[in-house]
C-alpha cells in the first residue's frame, strides 16, 4: 500500500509518497490541486492518507521571547499562523474524505528526530535514505507518513 503523508500549510501543503519504507516523492501541492494530485497517485483503495492534525494538540500560549521588541505582536502572529494551519488541516480532511479517500489524522510529531529533520535536510536524507531536494513542509509530510499515529 502507498502511504501519502500531508503537512498542511496555507499556500501549499507538503506531500510525501511512501511505498513500503521508501520515499518516492516529496512535493508541495496547492489546496485547489489536492484531489487531482491524489487521483494521479492512485485510487482510494490503493492509498492510505495520513495528515498532520494540529487540532489534536493544545492551543498555543504566550512564549518567553527575550529578544523580541514587541513580544505581544510576535505571539499574536504565531497564534494566527497556527490557526491558519488548523483551518487548512480541517478543510483538507473534509475535502479528501469527500473524494472517497480514507484519512488518518495524526498528532504532530515533536522533539528528537523530527525537530532535527525539519531544519537539517542532510540529516533527514541520512535518516530516511532520500537523496533529492526537500523543504521543511515536505520533510514533515514524509515523517508523518513514516511515523505518524
- Domains detected in the chain: 2-62+69-147 (3.30.420.10)
* Spatial CB neighbours of 116, under 8 Å, sequence gap ≥ 6: 123
pLDDT of 64-122, one tens digit each? Answer: 667 777 777 766 766 777 778 999 999 999 999 999 999 999 999 988 888 899 899 99
Judge whether 79 and 29 are in contact, CB under 8 Å.
no
Distance of alpha carbon 25 from alpha carbon 70, whole angstroms: 40
pLDDT of 19-77, one tens digit each? Answer: 999 999 999 999 999 999 999 999 999 999 999 999 898 766 556 667 777 777 766 76
Average model confidence (pLDDT) for the chain? 91
pLDDT of residue 61: 57
Angle at 13 between CA 12 and CA 17, to 5 degrees: 130
Mean pLDDT in residue range 2-15? 97
Q: Is the pLDDT of residue 128 over 60?
A: yes
Amino acid at each position: 500500500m502507498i502511504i501519502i503523508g500531508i503537512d498542511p500549510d496555507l499556500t501549499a501543503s507538503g506531500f510525501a509518497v511512501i511505498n513500503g519504507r521508501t520515499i518516492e516523492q516529496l512535493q508541495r501541492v496547492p489546496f485547489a490541486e489536492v484531489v487531482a494530485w491524489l487521483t494521479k497517485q492512485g485510487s482510494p483503495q490503493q492509498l492510505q492518507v495520513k495528515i498532520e492534525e494540529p487540532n489534536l494538540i493544545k492551543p498555543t500560549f504566550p512564549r518567553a521571547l527575550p529578544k523580541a521588541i514587541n513580544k505581544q505582536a510576535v505571539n499574536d502572529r504565531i497564534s494566527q499562523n497556527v490557526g491558519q494551519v488548523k483551518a487548512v488541516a480541517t478543510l483538507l480532511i473534509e475535502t479528501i474524505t469527500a473524494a472517497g479517500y480514507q484519512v488518518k489524522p495524526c498528532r504532530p510529531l515533536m522533539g528528537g528526530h523530527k525537530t532535527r529533520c525539519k531544519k537539517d535536510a542532510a540529516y533527514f536524507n541520512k535518516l530516511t535514505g532520500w537523496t533529492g531536494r526537500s523543504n521543511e513542509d515536505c520533510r514533515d509530510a514524509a515523517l508523518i507518513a513514516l511515523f505518524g499515529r
